[in-house]
Amino acid sequence: MCPCGCGCGSDEEETVEKPVQVVMIPCKYCAALFPQTETFCPNCGARRSE
């Protein structure tokens, strides 16, 4: 049964596999957001500090 009671018929629980959330960090130089997995800013090429 629909957990929200709206009758939509959805009985899915919140167990759907979520895609791996990539943490986006702002470049300290140009403020462009880039994935934490990247070592260098794709915008200005600066090396991320951590």
Cβ distance 32 to 40 under 8 Å?
no
Residue from 9, 29, 37, 48 touching Zn ion (CB under 5 A): that is 29
Q: Which of 43, 21, 49 is nearest to 30 (CA)?
A: 43
Per CB under 5 A, the segment of 2-10, 11-19, 22-30 that binds Zn ion is: 22-30
Least Å from the CB of residue 21 to Zn ion: 21
Phi and psi angles of residue 34, each rounded to the nearest 5 degrees, phi first = -145, 155
Residue 26: beta bridge partners? 33
Determine the interface stretch with Zn ion among 1-9, 11-19, 25-33 (rule: CB under 5 A): 25-33
Residues that bind Zn ion (CB under 5 A): 27, 29-30, 32, 41, 43-44, 46
